[in-house]
């Protein structure tokens, strides 16, 4: 799994204020006092305050979520909440940013007014996560991200096109669905105009995108802009009108969409494209990293802290990455030596990418290999895990229509009602690129004990507040996925040296990102310097390294979460082993990490520290 542009958009949409109908904390306390019954002096007093506070907080979280969905219609759509699919607010405006500030101040105030005293378990975690996330959101307001609304990785215009094409979160199943999109599209021109206005402010303030990124936005816009409605990506829903629509509705919607596309959407796209090509592109900067912008070093440090943990600075992550790169390179060399694989690391890895012995003869052989790894994992799992999700896992090939844009392996969580299993999708297209040595690590990451085990267990936590159950911390989720890959060594899945080398090389690629991302955004590296570092240390092509580095420039710090999350989980395990000694059980540790769902790394660390202390107390 990875953070998609749609999820990033949902996180970036300005949330707005709505006054809650919840009773004030003091009123709730008075009500509790009025209904309390006298108790005998000899009987120990139960702890009603903790229970009342937990229930009160859960009501606040529930109303917070509903208020957020009402006033953030796009985010609601991405969450599968269809109630507001006809709305598109101007979430880039100054008024919306003010609403976002007021919204967070109010809801943070409501939660902090109740406080955390007496809370335990999930109730304490929910409080800590809500307060942490709200404070991070408020702290981010000092940095003008709204001046940078578009780049090639986060292109608002491309996201709108996906929504309107029928291939995204916006549904096109009923007549009302079609009418909803038509009404929602009314918000596109003012939203694009606001993006232009924000970029103009950025030009005046010296807060602009690197030229290398914006040059790649123009072809993205050109792919959407067409002379007629029928040639447009927005015409696809009309081309695919459901057969059960009446002839009258079909004719009406066709005419309505033609007007919408040709007189509303295309002019908005042409205006945005023209501004970027003639005014913004000449004003873009030659520097590459976020640190080169006004207050950019602090901006990047905040991004890193919010995506990973406040305990690590960009400089510390840079040094950590440098050390990990060296360690992994030494492990690769040692693994080759133990397996008596001759030649250099570069020659060996090149052979693994190109030698036919690592490919599959047909789709069935690829799917069979995943199933085989699944059986191996199932046999080894009881030694490391005592918790497993109730939902089953199925292995399916990716549908042909999605094959060109799908990764080699991906995971779809089970349905909330338990009716649909978790699915490990295997991309059987472009078969020569699907390597035998990649299957074990991909299964471990995407399926078991990776995303299926972690997200499957989280899915079962039905009493979690929706902001936790329907959200997730990328450093935890993807960090766990990488940690799950590392367990392949203990589970015997890397007995073949090439499988082991495949895991180590993939981990090395993720690790050089720590160095290159912090290098280009905080240490003053140029784009070329970061590309050369990745080519020289991870043995990838210049084209792949360029794409990676431009991703760091477009989404500073975002790729750090994967490896930082894994390293944090590994260090917490090492700490537990050191402090608990013979009392350490990996099954108990894994259960403690997973049983409460996803959470920020610093809150996970505090939770594990409490667990270690509780484990030590009875015998000390």
For residue 6, the model assigns a pLDDT of 31
Tell whether 328 is covered by a domain.
yes
Task: Decide if 140 contacts 104 (C-beta within 8 A).
Answer: no
Number of domains in the chain: 3
DSSP for 569-605, written as a single string: HHHHHHHHHHHHGGG--HHHHHHHHHTT----HHHHH
Q: Residue 7 pLDDT > 90, yes or no? A: no
Q: Which helix (H) or strand (E) holds 256?
A: helix 247-260
Mean per-residue pLDDT, 320-333: 96
Q: 235 and 123: one domain?
A: no
Tell whether 248 is covered by a domain.
yes
Q: 267 and 305: one domain?
A: no
Q: 536 and 592: one domain?
A: yes
For residue 401, the model assigns a pLDDT of 72
Categorize the per-residue pLDDT at 618 as very low, low, confident or very high, splitting at 50, 70 and 90.
low
The per-residue pLDDT for range 175-189, each reduced to its tens digit, is: 999 999 999 999 999
Last residue of a domain, one of 105, 120, 143: 143
Tell whether 432 is covered by a domain.
no
Tell whether 508 is covered by a domain.
yes
Q: 212 and 302: one domain?
A: no
Q: Residue 620 pLDDT > 90, yes or no? A: no
For residue 51, the model assigns a pLDDT of 55
Q: 137 and 243: one domain?
A: no
Mean per-residue pLDDT, 503-513: 96
Distance of CA 90 to the CA centre of its chain: 24
For residue 27, the model assigns a pLDDT of 28
Q: 247 and 304: one domain?
A: no
Q: 527 and 615: one domain?
A: yes
Distance CA 99, CA 16 (A): 4
Q: Residue 9 pLDDT > 80, yes or no? A: no
Tell whether 370 is covered by a domain.
no
Last residue of a domain, one of 143, 170, 195: 143
Q: 279 and 337: one domain?
A: no
State the residue for tokens 């967070």: 104
The SS3 of residue 26 is helix
The per-residue pLDDT for range 33-77, each reduced to its tens digit, is: 333 333 333 444 445 444 589 999 999 999 999 999 998 999 999
**Highest mean predicted confidence (pLDDT) among 9-13, 49-53, 562-566:** 562-566
Categorize the per-residue pLDDT at 18 as very low, low, confident or very high, splitting at 50, 70 and 90.
very low
Tell whether 421 is covered by a domain.
no
The per-residue pLDDT for range 230-256, each reduced to its tens digit, is: 999 999 999 999 999 999 999 999 999
Q: 168 and 191: one domain?
A: yes
Last residue of a domain, one of 235, 257, 286: 286
Tell whether 86 is covered by a domain.
yes
The per-residue pLDDT for range 420-450, each reduced to its tens digit, is: 899 999 999 989 999 999 999 999 999 999 9
Q: 328 and 463: one domain?
A: yes
Task: Decide if 97 contacts 12 (C-beta within 8 A).
Answer: no
Tell whether 373 is covered by a domain.
no
Q: Which domain holds residue 93?
A: 5-31+47-143
The per-residue pLDDT for range 442-457, each reduced to its tens digit, is: 999 999 999 999 999 9
Among candidates 566, 359, 559, 360, which has minimal Cα distance to 445? 566
Task: Read off φ and ψ for residue 360, nearest 5 degrees.
Answer: -110, 145
* Radius of gyration (C-alpha) of the chain in whole angstroms: 26
Mean per-residue pLDDT, 394-414: 86
Q: 311 and 259: one domain?
A: no
Distance CA 605, CA 264 (A): 51
Q: 606 and 478: one domain?
A: yes
Mean per-residue pLDDT, 92-108: 96
Length of the chain (residues): 620
For residue 350, the model assigns a pLDDT of 87
């Amino acid at each position: 799994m990875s953070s998609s542009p749609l999820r990033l958009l949902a996180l970036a949409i300005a949330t707005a204020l709505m006054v809650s109908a919840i009773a004030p904390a003091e009123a709730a306390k008075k009500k509790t006092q009025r209904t309390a019954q006298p108790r005998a002096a000899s009987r120990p007093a139960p702890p009603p305050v903790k229970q009342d506070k937990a229930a009160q907080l859960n009501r606040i979280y529930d109303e917070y979520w509903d208020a957020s969905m009402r006033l953030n219609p796009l985010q609601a759509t991405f969450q599968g909440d269809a109630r507001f699919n006809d709305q598109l607010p101007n979430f880039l405006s100054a008024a919306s940013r003010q609403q976002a500030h007021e919204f967070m101040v109010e809801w943070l105030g409501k939660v902090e007014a109740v406080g955390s005293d007496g809370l335990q378990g999930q109730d304490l975690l929910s409080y800590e996560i809500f307060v942490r996330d709200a404070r991070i959101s408020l702290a981010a307001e000092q940095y003008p991200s709204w001046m940078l609304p578009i780049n090639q990785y986060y292109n608002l215009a491309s996201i709108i096109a996906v929504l309107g094409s029928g291939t995204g979160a916006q549904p096109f199943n009923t007549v009302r669905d079609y009418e909803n999109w038509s009404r929602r599209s009314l918000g596109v021109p003012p939203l694009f105009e606001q993006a232009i206005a924000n970029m103009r402010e950025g030009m005046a303030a010296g807060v602009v995108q690197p030229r290398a990124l914006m040059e790649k936005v123009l072809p993205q816009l050109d792919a959407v802009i067409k002379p007629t409605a029928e040639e447009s990506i927005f015409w696809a829903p009309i081309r695919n009108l459901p057969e059960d629509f009446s002839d009258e509705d079909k004719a009406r919607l066709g005419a309505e969409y033609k007007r919408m596309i040709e007189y509303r959407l295309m002019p908005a796209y042409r205006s945005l494209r023209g501004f970027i090509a003639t005014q913004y592109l000449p004003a873009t900067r030659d520097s590459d990293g976020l640190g080169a912008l006004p207050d950019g070093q602090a901006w990047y440090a905040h991004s890193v802290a919010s995506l990973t943990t406040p305990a690590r600075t960009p400089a510390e992550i840079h040094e950590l990455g440098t050390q990990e790169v060296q360690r992994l390179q030494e492990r690769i060399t040692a693994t080759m030596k133990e397996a008596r694989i001759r030649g250099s690391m570069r020659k060996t890895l090149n052979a693994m990418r190109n030698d036919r012995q690592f490919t599959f003869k047909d789709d069935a052989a690829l799917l069979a290999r995943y199933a085989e790894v699944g059986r191996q994992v199932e046999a080894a799992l009881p030694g490391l895990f005592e918790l497993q999700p109730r939902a089953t896992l199925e292995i399916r090939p990716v549908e042909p229509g999605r094959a060109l844009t799908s990764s080699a392996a991906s995971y779809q969580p089970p349905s909330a009602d338990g009716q649909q299993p978790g699915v490990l999708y295997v991309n059987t297209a472009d078969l020569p690129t699907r390597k035998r040595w990649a299957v074990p690590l991909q299964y471990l990451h995407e399926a078991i004990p990776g995303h299926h085990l972690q997200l499957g267990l989280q899915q079962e936590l039905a009493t979690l507040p929706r902001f936790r159950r329907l959200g997730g911390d990328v450093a935890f989720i993807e960090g766990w996925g990488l940690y799950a890959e590392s367990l392949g060594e203990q589970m015997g899945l890397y007995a073949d040296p090439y499988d082991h080398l495949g895991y180590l090389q993939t981990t090395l690629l993720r690790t050089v990102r720590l160095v290159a991302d912090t290098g280009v955004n905080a240490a003053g590296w140029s784009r070329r310097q970061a590309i050369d570092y990745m080519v020289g240390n991870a043995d990838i092509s210049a084209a792949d390294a360029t794409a990676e580095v431009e991703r760091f420039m477009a989404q500073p710090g975002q790729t750090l979460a994967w490896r930082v999350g894994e390293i944090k989980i590994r260090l917490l395990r090492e700490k537990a082993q050191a402090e608990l000694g013979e009392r350490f059980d990996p099954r108990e540790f894994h259960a403690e990490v997973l049983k409460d769902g996803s959470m920020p790394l610093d809150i996970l660390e505090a939770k594990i520290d409490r667990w270690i202390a509780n484990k030590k107390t009875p015998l000390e």
